[in-house]
A and B are shown apart, each in its own frame.
Chain A
Amino acid sequence: MLAIPINQDNSPEAVVELLYRLKVKDVMTHPILTAGPADTLRRIQATMKKNRITGMPIADGDRLLGIVSMNDIVEALENGWIDDPASLHMTTNVIVLEDSMSLSFCVSYFNKYSFGRFPVLDRDARLIGIVTASDVISTLLVALNQTLERLEQTADAGRAEPARAEEELDVEFATEPFNFETAGHASTEVKKMLKAAGIDPAVTRRVGIASYELEINQVIHSRGGKMRYRLSPTRLVIEAEDSGPGIPDVTRAMTEGFSTASDRVRSLGFGAGMGLPNARRVSDEFSIDSAPGKGTLVRASFDLASKEGTNR
């Protein structure tokens, strides 16, 4: 099970402060998917697969009754009770978090219990969200970046050379169809992250461009997706993966000026048919894997040691 590698006893003060300032409600996913006690495990398994989640709370309205995890599904398949209602086999001894608890509490829970997720209840014991370890990690990472940037700005101008990224780092952001409110969020956060890591500004700008175009593509064209960023000392790989509807003709989609965007999208200044060509132009390596009905995975890689500018 994924532990959260933060030592709460001797971490830097800024980290400890964050762990206390952030609350469970700041990291939880909501609204959440739930199933009823009478739903079959087979149906729950299908929902979990479709939504790519690994556990589902069983609830009656907003009252939490239990939880069905991937383990429960595997056991049901092994023992032949996959068509039974959830109420017979769900885990009823569920450990929950309250929304007003600090993140510090939440991290301790993950490291103490071997559960992948905790349902979140409000003060009136109503089920309002769920927290996974990756929710905690990604929120922490974003908050840590903001803190780091603030610290950097207040530090003396004559500070030491910026360090290069020395460790592997993975971050992930979700995009939602037609949510232009949060569009661009992943790209700006990642840009800040690279800047803080001391990556060459010209490379950082190229990453920003590719990332933004791919992010906007997911917002405009997909049913929602994930923007993943894998950082190693020498390389950054952006993986933009969505769950459909897929691109029928990739060659055509890569042609400058070709677009299937709606008028509304165009009125916002998008959909000029330049997104994918722009992203490919600024990337060191670029690939698209897509099929109608399946979804699309775009991979753009950047050589971080590169010193080349933007007008490639």
Chain B
Amino acid sequence: MNTAELARTLNAARVCAPEVDREVAGAYTSDLLSDAMANAPENGVLVTIQAHKNTVAVATLRDLAAIVICNNRPIPDDMIEAARSEGIAILQTAEDQFAVSGRLYPLLRAGS
């Protein structure tokens, strides 16, 4: 599954769509950036409500493919700009982290 398909699957808005739709491998759900920093998988998706620039820094350092912002949290322009320059997709959805994780689990769990 790539980031474009991920957006369709979640019925999420593509707030930042880099030129290349990266393949997604795995996901991690957390609102603690240090936790995400320690445990998110490479090329994975971070499911969170932390809609600010520092989330992009974590995603960059951890080589994540996408960030899914839940509960329709507003996404500041500087976050979008940072994600664009780093080639990281940002999706925004009205659903919460539980619902998003539930949708992604059968699709992205190891081996599927």
Given the interface pairs A269-B33, A269-B50, the reply to whether A209 lies near B38 with Cβ below 8 Å is: yes
Interface residues of B in 24-72 (CB under 8 A from A): 31-38, 42, 48, 50, 52-55, 57-58, 60-63
Interface residues of B in 69-108 (CB under 8 A from A): 78, 86
With A and B bound together, what is the CA distance between A219 and B101 in angstroms?
A: 31
The answer to whether A213 touches B57 (Cβ under 8 A) is: no
Q: Majority SS of interface residues in chain A?
A: helix
* Chain B hits for A269, CB < 8 A: 31-34, 36, 48, 50, 54-55
Q: What is the distance, in angstroms, from A3's C-beta to the closest C-beta of chain B?
A: 33
* Chain B hits for A188, CB < 8 A: 57, 60-61, 86
Interface residues of A, count at CB 8 A: 24
The answer to whether B34 touches A268 (Cβ under 8 A) is: no
The residue from A191, A213, A216 contacting B60, defined by CB atoms under 8 A apart: A191
With A and B bound together, what is the CA distance between A187 and B33 in angstroms?
A: 15
Q: Majority SS of interface residues in chain B?
A: helix
Is A167 among interface residues, defined by CB-CB distance under 8 A?
no
The answer to whether B52 touches A205 (Cβ under 8 A) is: no
The answer to whether B61 touches A187 (Cβ under 8 A) is: yes
* Chain A hits for B61, CB < 8 A: 184, 187-188, 191, 205, 208-209, 211-212
The answer to whether A180 touches B34 (Cβ under 8 A) is: no
With A and B bound together, what is the CA distance between A282 and B45 in angstroms?
A: 21
Is A166 among interface residues, defined by CB-CB distance under 8 A?
no
Interface residues of A in 153-210 (CB under 8 A from B): 180-181, 183-184, 187-188, 191, 201, 205, 208-209
The 9 nearest A-B residue pairs measured at CB = A184-B57, A208-B61, A274-B34, A269-B33, A269-B50, A272-B32, A278-B38, A272-B34, A188-B60
**Which B residues form the contact surface with A (CB < 8 A)?**
31-38, 42, 48, 50, 52-55, 57-58, 60-63, 78, 86
**Which A residues form the contact surface with B (CB < 8 A)?**
180-181, 183-184, 187-188, 191, 201, 205, 208-209, 211-213, 216, 268-270, 272, 274-275, 278, 281, 310
Given contacts A180-B52, A275-B34, 13 further A-B contacts (CB under 8 A): A187-B61, A191-B61, A209-B37, A211-B61, A213-B34, A213-B37, A216-B33, A269-B33, A269-B54, A270-B33, A272-B32, A274-B38, A278-B37
